[in-house]
Amino acid sequence: MTEFDKITPETYEKMNEEFVEEGTMVRIEVPTQESIDKWKKWVDPDMHKRTIEPRDMVQDMWDAIGGRPSK
């Protein structure tokens, strides 16, 4: 079982308790187990889709100075 599998509402409650003990002014909304399970199963359909076309930045620098030098 991984840490990812161990996430429960109690996890968030313990985190909030630690925040109170440390005096941190942060609180996390405690989700239901159903919403945690839904989040774990969710897959971003565009996760591996490129949003921009990759560029060859080295070639861009060579182009900026007039191309590669001759050998």
Q: Is residue 71 part of a domain?
A: no
- Determine the Cα–Cα distance for residues 53 and 42; give it in Å rounded to an integer: 26
pLDDT tens digits for range 10-53: 999 999 999 999 999 999 999 999 999 999 898 888 878 878 88
pLDDT of residue 1: 72
Residue 17 host element (H or E): helix 9-22
Number of domains composing the chain? 1
Q: Is residue 22 part of a domain?
A: yes
Q: Which residue has the higher pLDDT, 42 or 1?
A: 42
Residue-wise burial string across 30-51, b where 16 or more C-beta atoms lie within 10 A, e elsewhere: ebeeeebeeeeeeeeeeeeeee
Q: Is residue 28 part of a domain?
A: yes
Q: Is residue 10 part of a domain?
A: yes
Q: Is residue 69 part of a domain?
A: no
pLDDT tens digits for range 48-60: 887 888 889 998 9
User: Domain residues for 24?
Assistant: 4-64
pTM: 0.55
Q: Is 9 left (phi over 0), alpha (psi -120 to 50) or beta?
A: alpha
